[in-house]
Structure 1
Amino acid sequence: MRIIFLLFVFYVSPTYADTLIKSGCSKGYLGVKWFIYEDADGNQYVDQDPRSWECGFDRFLNLNVEKESGDRFNPAIVTVDYKDMLGRNEPWGMVHHSTTVGKAVRVGRDTVYIFGDGRTGDGIFTLGREEIQFRIEEEPVCEVDSRIDCEGYRQNSSQDLIYYGEDDDRVVTWELGVLVYATHYTHGDDLPVGIMGELDEEHPLWDKWQKRVEQYNSIYEESGVHIRYKLSKLWLAHYHNLYDVGTMTTGKPVDVVLGYGTSYVDTCGVARVQTHFREGKPPYSMSRCSVYTDLHEIGHSVGLAHGPENQLWQATGYIFPEFGHGWNDICNGKDDLMSYGREGVFHSNSKLYCDEIFRDWYPAILAGGREWSDTAHALNRVRYGVSLVHKENDYVDPDLRLRPIQSKARRIGIEVID
């Protein structure tokens, strides 16, 4: 037989019935005050306060600017130095903070990032009783002059796209809204065009679509595309064409829209091409086939084309005609997914070699080229603009009269039928 003895140790704080016999400041430990109490039975015990201001405890908070200016993607940076009188780190939080402009986010132990919220100018960050000044500026852009952009490539869109340089690899989130097609077979013949309801995270279809979105993100990551999709909205809807999809999602809180479950006759998908990205007007497309079809159609909706040597419907990039389109047989038999090749499973990228994408042996073959196909670079160039279609982090003026009016009108665009 095994006998197990359990020792329970309880901390008992002084009660109102206990009598304080003596107290004082510790001579060996700055900031510590000790107390001797006697309980009702005459037993004495010692308690202490390790953070006694009376006995020399103190804290010091210093804010320093590591990076003075920022914007909505590239933050101003403030470091927080919060220590006690012995130089030991003190815990702190963001409960008692404020900013006059922008949004402050704690990153790590001693750092605060301040992102822009659509307003610009000087701002004050306050933590506790300390404050420090920073500045929020407009995002830098790649200016276009006579259809030639700052990188020296032809650009068919007149929009100056946000640009942080050739080596910028910051990952940006695109909020995805999915319209799950409601069929007549399931929901009846008398089915009007429109959104029938929103499916939340508890709905079984949410997990299915979350896994599908993870596949999108995996393909993008392997291809060097600095975009990650976030499943933001999932709707059950009935629609007949692209016009319906665009009409019912204008102004919705998403960056990109995909209608899934139907398409035009004898097609896997269709898309409306956008070359100019505006708030409240998400690019939209329809698909009913594989994840590669989904990304193919989304690619069309943000300006990508099939390619000049494609099997059918040849076209160069709608925004970047030199490289913003697919190509066949790039990595031996592997094709860019904007092409009609049988193995269209990635986005071409002039900065990667084929073995970096497919983890297989290739004899030093580049996975793309700016002279013929680099759809990863084309996506990376538009990623900031598309992410601001829904400005979820922008300041909203409490006075309705001062809020900008969003037009419901839509630009006449190109429909691509696959």
Structure 2
Amino acid sequence: METLTVMGQRAKTAAAQLAKTGITERNNALKAAADALLAKRDTIQAANAKDIEAAKKNQMKPAMIDRLTLTDARIEGMAEGLYQIVQLDDPIGEITSMKQRPNGLMIGKKKVPLGVIAIIYESRPNVTADAFGLTLKSGNAVILRGGSDAIHSNTAIVSVITESLKECGINPDAIQLVTDTDRALVTELMHMNKYIDVIIPRGGAGLIQNVVQNSTVPVIETGTGNCHIYVDEYADFKMAEDIIFNAKTQRIGVCNACESLVVHSKIAGEFIPQLVDRLKLKNVEIRGDERAMAADSRIVPATEDDWGTEYLDYIISLKVVDSIDEAIAHINRYNTGHSEAIITKDYDHAQQFLNEIDAAAVYVNASTRFTDGFEFGFGAEIGISTQKIHARGPMGLDALTTSKYVIYGNGQVRK
């Protein structure tokens, strides 16, 4: 593998070239890459099989193996994400807020690419294709550093994409993969201010905090997902069961899965046993407070740590509260700023929850599993930001742009 410095230099060159391309060129390259992923799916899955075999030998948790696995449907989803990105408007070049100053100067803001983006991520090799699609469409070059557990899958995906870029006349250095799995390179990557404009970490809390705390390159923080669902006293029980079952069990190893439940005390005695019946269909372990355990003997005691834990497993915490105010206070104390939901038929409670919950995505009567760039109509996502500066929530094309001021004059000089 080339040194990171050489990769950074090449990425910088590719970014400058991409910034001058037209939307048709970039869209054609995205279509070609999507076609290539489908055409080479056997090659990609053969590489993925090596990663899965190694994961099983290393006794990786089933949820993590699920995140790692590339089925036909997931490869088709990767390609579909690229096709959807093609249909989106060009995110760069738009000039907004053009205003004339008293001295005659015309001052406006123009959307431009960020430049070179580095993404450090774990498992989920579909991130490789998503990152490529969004960065290319927005005129950025990308350097990827995936986890060692997905190295064969990521290498195969990047190889397929770079070949398709060459055929389209696009600099293949628009996407580069760090193939050396030495963790020391992550530290080096985080200090490449000269070549990298922003770093986006995606993965567990340890990875994200390491990057946030130690990077000298600007960071867009993506967060872990301790996502809550609050079942209000005015909830429809069947709706609540269906939403919680989906949010907890549809895919357990994802950041938008529900990890924590809050239930109003007025309905706890009737609702909780029904909910436990439903969750036990998937052998979910429910860890609750004293009132939750009093409602159903199958619930085990929760500790203080449980209220703030992202399990990524068939485990969920359950807290009983006496009011919506108490529910909101509990959620805002323990959430990670990702996705929170209320199940209620009461309009005022719904609005209060939307107004007072501090999170990137807040739902009324819907599963937290929808917090996703694809589901939000972005084609894909580069990550889900839980910070409040620059970008928040699923990050699509707009989050990968910045702006510069453009000024038109006719000879003005400052006095």
TM-score normalised to structure 1 length:
0.27
Task: Pick 1 or 2: higher relative contact order, CA cutoff 8 A, min separation 6.
Answer: 2
Structure of greater Rg: 1
Structure with the bigger percentage of strand: 1
TM-score normalised to structure 2 length:
0.27
Structure with the bigger percentage of helix: 2
